[in-house]
Amino acid sequence: MTVKEALEDYYLIPRKIRHFLRTKKHVQVNGEIVHWQSILEAGDQLTLTFDPEDYEEKEILAGDANLVQALYEDEHLIIVNKPEGMKTHANQPDEIALLNHVSTYVGKTCYVVHRLDKETSGALVFAKNPFVLPVLNRLLEDKKIQRDYWALILGSLPKKKLVYKDKLGRDRHDRRKRIVDPRKGLYAETHVTSLKTFKRTSFGQLPAPDRSYPPDPCPPLSPWPSDCGRSHSTTQKELLASCSMPTACGSPIPSP
């Protein structure tokens, strides 16, 4: 692999930034400036130097660092617990969301790697710099970062493990909603494992923990939640609702 190939294909550095690295001679291998087509050998140390002006930092409104529950943090990323009822990122310039709180907690603008619906709680990954963002995005696309969802479901699941399959599309009357649309919908698949059954509800994990899924009938467009990559936790809620198994909480849109 050449230096050029490593920057393009492995680190996914944008063309503009690669141009800065090359013209400024900010690429070194084992402490020495190298040619763009130099071959990287096993054990080589690749050093990249970025100037502040290479990546323009986007300014956002300050949040409240006290609202951040950090689960893991290193120099490149932070994983936090998103509470129910809070947006992952703002949709308006004057809006405050979890991204604002996390950026204030870290001390600089962070970047959203993936999102959760406002009504869904759980772990979220934020990149601390724009360099690592495309790398984390690719790990998600390659399903090397796996996300499981837990849901409290109204009713009892008929079996320990289930696979719900259908085609989902936008509701033409309310674009916030998705409905089963056999004609125009996109294929979606949700795997459910029953963890515990209560009197009127079931506690389930999505997807099944053993990951023993059948081959996808269509290429994945995103890493999760469905094997054909529709739209995060919304897909699971809609598929369960279509089978008269609506989620018991945190899901105001789907209905059986």
Q: How far, in Å, CA of 245 to CA of 203, rounded? A: 12
Instruction: Classify burial at 43, counting beta carbons within 10 Å of its beta carbon; exposed 0-12, middle 13-18, buried 19 or more.
Output: exposed
Q: With contact defined as beta carbons under 8 Å apart, do 169 and 178 qualify?
A: yes
* Angular region, 102: left φ>0, alpha ψ -120 to 50, beta rest: alpha
d(CA 21, CA 13): 10
Distance of CA 234 to the CA centre of its chain: 13
Q: What is the dihedral of CA 154, 155, 157, 163, to 10 degrees?
A: -40
- Which residues does the annotation mark as catalytic? 117
Nearest to 213 by CA among 192, 232, 234: 192
Q: Tens-digit pLDDT profile for the chain (256 aa)?
A: 999 999 988 888 888 888 999 999 999 999 999 988 999 999 999 999 988 778 777 889 999 999 999 999 999 999 999 999 999 999 888 999 999 999 999 999 999 999 998 988 999 999 998 888 888 988 888 888 888 888 887 777 788 888 888 888 888 888 777 778 888 888 888 888 888 888 777 777 766 333 333 333 333 322 333 344 444 454 455 545 545 444 444 444 333 3
Give DSSP secondary structure letters for 39-65: BP-TT--EEE---TTTSPPPP-----G
Kindly report the pTM of this predicted structure.
0.69
